[in-house]
Structure 1
Amino acid sequence: MNSINTSGLPDYDLADRMVVTAPSQLKAMAEPLRDTLLELVLERAATVQELAAAVHRPKSSIAHHVHVLVDAGLMRVVRTRRVRAIEERFYGRTARIFQVGRVRPEDVSPPPWPNDLATSAQESHAAYLADRMRSLRRHVRISPGRAAEFWERVAALVDDFSQLPRDGEEMYALVTSLYPAEHPTLAEPAPEG
């Protein structure tokens, strides 16, 4: 009998963070179905059959995508189990967080990964219409160094979110972004005097 993992942590060992820079890794991560597969195994290791059932796709198609992720070093076999005469493989991520490192623009222009904000806008539309969406947006004039420091704090919060115990029936998404934006700003105040 399988027990349900509610800890919020995968049921296998994986690195905390992996910096990805190779075009093959970026391309593998960019495909929406493969991104979904990587998200699914963040909860627990899964077989190709389990992944296929979760995304309602043929097992052969999912096997192809899993092999692309394994070849790119983003997924690996974390354990096996003998079922009758067949060895069943359970796949997991190689790291909890995949961080895109410095990439030569000529290797990935235009970026092969999806725009998470555009994807989230589509995904959140039904929640917006049902008045079940929470969102915030702020503009702040800060230095690039301070933006990088703040982003590390945001990334830690997102990691905390992904490790929350699994105790509900409904899935929630958290999207965050930090980017330079054209936005009005106030001039420095005039000196008093």
Structure 2
Amino acid sequence: MLIKNIESKIRLSFWVSIGSFITAIIISIVSFVFAATMIRKERSQIYVLDNNVPLVATKTNIEDNREAEYKANIAAFHDFFFSMPPDDEYIKRQMNKAMYLVDASGIAQYNTLKEKGYYTNLVSTSSVVTCTMDSILLDMNTKKWQFIGKQKIERPSMITVRTLITEGGLQDIPRTVNNSHGVLITNWKTIENKDIINETKKLY
């Protein structure tokens, strides 16, 4: 009888020890996860001083804003490439800005328009070209996009409005002064650019 009591106590002690060990492991894991979460949370906060008063500024994940950055980059490129006054130097500056945002496909289109005398004609006819965006369709999985907008060409005697639909891809690159979003437009091409309005100006 005494031996059975001793064996029972030994088994009880064994299971209590096992239970304590497992509990200790669970507590350690929970503590580690909690500590890691708190560290990540603290790292997402920046403390700034405003008149010696500490304020908390929360950092945002770059990926959270990536879609907005992609669309902003596409919109900026089209504005640089398609909006211009009759000014040679201004056009060159705009094209220079645009070329930082696109691969060789953009340079090819620019050279084609230049060879056809497009920019020379704009300057010689005192034409003002503006680009307006209607929408940007973007697939975040494939990084394929389509720009839908209009192009307005205002000449001294006529106003022409054209459809403007282009498409291409996107490539992430390091951020630079000339490409602050760190996005390069790839395989860019114009799908549609046809006249929809030709209106003669009234001359007084």
TM-score clears 0.5: no
In the superposition, the TM-score normalised over structure 2's length comes to 0.20
More helix by share: 2
In the superposition, the TM-score normalised over structure 1's length comes to 0.21
